[in-house]
Each structure stands twice: as structure tokens, then as C-alpha cells.
A and B are shown apart, each in its own frame.
Chain A
Amino acid sequence: MKPSALCVFYTVIGPSGVMVAIAASLLTFAVYLAEVDPAGLEQTVGIALFLQLFAASTGYRDRLRRGHFDPLIVGHSNAWSIGLAHWLVSAAPGFVVWVMLGAIDLAARPGQTAAPFTLAGISTFLYASTIVWAVSLPFQRYAAAVLWLIVLFALAATQQLQTLRVTFTPMPETWIDVLRSTAAGLVFPVFLMLDPAVLSLRIVSLMLGTTVCVWIAGVSMIRRFEAALVQS
């Protein structure tokens, strides 16, 4: 029996026990908020997005060089299915948490739109998951999340984050403003979640288009990666 790419990746790079414990704590916190302060549920979405930066940053090349994926590569010659499986295992656990947060929000506030289920919420989640996944591919686990944090700290220290916040307009009128807002959202996707119900469809489309391009670039990287074996 040859194991599937999904099974091998889930076994080798699946969510760690610590990550599962943090996700469970977040969901417990969301249930608590749903009881005492449903309006506060929005903050759990931000925390989930932040966690996803780490969870989806699984890395590829480092483990490839150590031979951890050998049985998979010997048995599967289709790099696209390997890439898809790696992306799914990286992003899907966080997506489950995202959906559960949306369900808790819906249950707590039946008349309102749950932020994780809006177009803005889904596109933000997909983009954030895919960009950290792709950036982490040449490195070790969590590398992309750490890199992103460094960039954010640098932007915040030089007041550029505030400039990006001012640049971001949820409903821009001209294409120039759409591009500027999208660029701001690409650097700091949390902007898109500030008011997810009124986000421009053009921004959402550009975010999703960028996500697809990043995904293709990631799989192309996986196709090209190869290296001499290194000792663990």
C-alpha cells in the first residue's frame, strides 16, 4: 500500500500538539465570548488569522533535504498533486478553526453576518494562508510567519503601517485607489477584516487573483526543489 501525499504530509508536517491546544483554547474563548459579550467575537477572528500565519508556515525544502518526504517523492511523480496536498495540510487545520469561529458567531448573533463567512473573510484567510505557505517553502516551519512579523514591526517602527492604514479604503472609487487598497491589504491583511461586510468586490477579486498566483508560484517552487541529502 502506497500512502497518499495527504497522509504523508499530515503525518510529517501536520499541526503540532501545541498548535492544537492553542486552537482549542481560542475556540473555548470564543464560546465564552458568545455567552457574555458576542460583539467581542470579532477579536477572535484576528487572533485566528494571526495563528494561521504560524500554522500554515510549514516549510518544505528543509525537510526535503533531510529525506523526510522521500517515500512520497519516490511514489508520486506529479508535483502538482504534491503541491496541492502540501498546501491543504498546511492551510486546512486553520480553516477548520476559522469555520468553527464563524459557526459560533452565527449561533451567538443569528441576525448578523459572521466575519469568517464574508467574502472579505474568506479571501483574507485564503491569501494569508497561501502567502505564508509559499514564503515558508524554501525554509523551515514558522519561518514565513517570523519574517512577516519582522516586516510588520519594521513598518510599525517607521510609521509606515499607519500610512498603509490611511491608504486602505474599503470602498475605493477609482482603480488607482483599488490597487492601493489591495496593496495595503496584501501587506497587512487584517485591514480587510476591519469592516468585512462593506469591502469592495474589486479588492476581493484582486486578493483572490493574487492568492492563485502565489499558489502557482509555490507549487512551481516545489517542482524545482531538489538538493543533496543532509544529515538531520
Chain B
Amino acid sequence: MTEGAALDHVSKRFHRHVALDDVTATFANASIVGIVGPNGAGKTTMLRVLAGILRPSAGWVRRPFDGRVVYFGGEQTLPPDVSASRWVALWSPAAARQTTARRFGVLSRGTRQRIGLEVSLFPTETELLLLDEPWEGLDPAASRWLSDWLIRKRAGGAAVVVSSHRIHDLASICDRCEFLASGRLAAPVDCAPAWSHEQRVATLLNGFERARIRS
């Protein structure tokens, strides 16, 4: 498998706080990698460094050409005073006609999340898709819709990196999970395709527990 993106001994500090500490990881094309860890472990920082929004304090980031990277940080990153249809029109005027004209600020959390995800999933030429807590706020049908889309993106050759606490959702789609604790990566877990869903969930829960204890 070819390498879609990579972090090479990356550290990120905010003043005295170390958010990422010597993180090295590769994200292959046509794969889905889950980033798991307790709150404050550095998952969001890791995705934002990968996206190029944050500059690493040390180390190197390798990612595809800017135009082929898509990042969505969750519904809270959508501007509340902007109309949803105007926002969607920036990417797809056709899709905007089917989107509500109401401001994001007055929409439900789930609706905002769904619209934000739809915009992130529109581009067909995506090589690196980075999603931060994408299942948050989604109902079961929308969660299924998202998982199907991520599998489709993987089939299209994209490297998909997803941070989440939703172990069951991750277990159903991930090829590998990285466990982050206090800004450091623990040993990754490969989810063998032959494993049952229960085996995957148990493995990821074990990994999460080890990361939680470490932090």
C-alpha cells in the first residue's frame, strides 16, 4: 500500500503544554485509521497538524497536495451566523439548493454535523480525509450513512483518518487503530478483516483502557 500521509517524530507544544510528543505514524492510501484516546490526549491536535492547520514544533509532516486534503473538525467549527445553504454553495451550488437556508446557529447539533460531513465528503479527488469525532451528534441511521461513506472513500483510494470515542463504530470500519495518551502514541492495533465485530471491539477497548491508564 502506498503512503498517503505520515508524521515523522512530530511534537507540538502550546507554550509549556506538550500536546504531541514525538509522534511517528503513517497513513496508507485506501485505508481507514482510527485515532483513539482519552479526552485531552492530543487527537484533535494530531489531526490539525496532519491537515496543515497547525505547524509542528518539531518533526516532519508528509501529506498530499493541499487541494486533495479534506478536514472537518466537527459541527462546532461551522460559523453559527452563516446560512447552511450559503456554506454548502461554496463547494456545491447544486447541493446548496437542497440545503436549508437557516443559519447554523439555529440548527440542531446533528443537522450541523451532517451538513458539515456532507461538505467534507463531496470532493471526489480526496487523497487524505481527516475527520474529528465524526459520529458525534448523529442518529443511528446517519451513523450508518457515514460509515458507508468512509468505506466508499477507502475503496476510492483515500487515506481516511478518524478520531473518535465511538469504539463500536470504529471497530466496524477501521483497518488499524492508533492509541494516543498524553500526546504519545502507544503500539497500534491492526484490526484483522477475519475478526468478528466483537473481537474488534474487545481489542479496541483493551487498547483504549491501556492508553487511559498510561495517561
Give me the interface of A with B, judged by CB distance under 8 Å.
1-3, 7-8, 11-12, 63, 66-68, 70-71, 73-77, 226-229, 231-232
Interface string of B167-188 (1 = CB under 8 A from A): 0000000000000000000000
When the two chains form their complex, are residues B86 and A68 in contact, meaning their CB atoms are under 8 A apart?
no
Nearest CB of A to B100, in Å: 16
**What residues of A have a CB within 8 angstroms of the CB of B72 in the complex?**
70
The reply on B91 being an interface residue by CB < 8 A is: yes
**What residues of B have a CB within 8 angstroms of the CB of A71 in the complex?**
71, 90, 119
**How many angstroms from the CA of A228 to the CA of B44 in the assembled complex?**
9
When the two chains form their complex, are residues A75 and B77 in contact, meaning their CB atoms are under 8 A apart?
no
The reply on B69 being an interface residue by CB < 8 A is: yes
List the B residue with the shortest CB-CB distance to A66: B77
Whether A228 contacts B53 in the complex (CB less than 8 A), given A67-B73, A68-B79, A70-B77, comes out as no
Q: Which of B57-112 contact A (CB under 8 A)?
A: 66-67, 69-74, 76-80, 82, 86-87, 90-92
**How many angstroms from the CA of A2 to the CA of B76 in the assembled complex?**
21
**What residues of A have a CB within 8 angstroms of the CB of B69 in the complex?**
74-75
When the two chains form their complex, are residues A3 and B66 in contact, meaning their CB atoms are under 8 A apart?
no
Can you list the 5 inter-chain pairs with the closest CB atoms, starting with the nearest? A67-B77, A3-B90, A68-B79, A67-B73, A74-B71
Nearest CB of B to A192, in Å: 34
**What residues of B have a CB within 8 angstroms of the CB of A70 in the complex?**
51, 53, 71-73, 77
Choose among B44, B51, B78, B90 the residue that contacts A8 (Cβ–Cβ < 8 A): B90
**How many angstroms from the CA of A68 to the CA of B44 in the assembled complex?**
15
Whether A77 contacts B52 in the complex (CB less than 8 A), given A11-B86, A12-B79, A228-B19, comes out as yes
Whether A74 contacts B79 in the complex (CB less than 8 A), given A3-B90, A67-B73, comes out as no
When the two chains form their complex, are residues B53 and A73 in contact, meaning their CB atoms are under 8 A apart?
yes
> How many residues on B have C-beta within 8 angstroms of the other chain's C-beta atoms?
31
Choose among A7, A67, A77, A226 the residue that contacts B66 (Cβ–Cβ < 8 A): A77
Whether A226 contacts B54 in the complex (CB less than 8 A), given A1-B92, A8-B90, comes out as yes
**How many angstroms from the CA of A2 to the CA of B90 in the assembled complex?**
8
**What residues of A have a CB within 8 angstroms of the CB of B195 in the complex?**
none
**How many angstroms from the CA of A70 to the CA of B76 in the assembled complex?**
12
Provide a sorted-by-A list of 30 A–B residue pairs whose CB atoms are within 8 angstroms. A1-B91, A1-B123, A2-B123, A3-B90, A3-B91, A8-B90, A11-B79, A11-B86, A11-B87, A11-B90, A12-B79, A12-B82, A63-B79, A66-B77, A66-B79, A68-B77, A68-B79, A70-B51, A70-B71, A70-B73, A70-B77, A74-B53, A74-B66, A75-B66, A75-B67, A76-B66, A77-B52, A226-B53, A227-B14, A229-B77
Whether A73 contacts B52 in the complex (CB less than 8 A), given A1-B91, A3-B90, A229-B77, comes out as yes
Nearest CB of A to B44, in Å: 6
When the two chains form their complex, are residues A7 and B90 in contact, meaning their CB atoms are under 8 A apart?
yes
**What residues of A have a CB within 8 angstroms of the CB of B11 in the complex?**
none
Whether A231 contacts B66 in the complex (CB less than 8 A), given A8-B90, A74-B52, A77-B52, comes out as no
**How many angstroms from the CA of A68 to the CA of B75 in the assembled complex?**
10
When the two chains form their complex, are residues A226 and B71 in contact, meaning their CB atoms are under 8 A apart?
no
The reply on B55 being an interface residue by CB < 8 A is: yes
List the B residue with the shortest CB-CB distance to A228: B14
Nearest CB of B to A4, in Å: 9
List the B residue with the shortest CB-CB distance to A78: B66
When the two chains form their complex, are residues B82 and A229 in contact, meaning their CB atoms are under 8 A apart?
no
When the two chains form their complex, are residues A228 and B66 in contact, meaning their CB atoms are under 8 A apart?
no
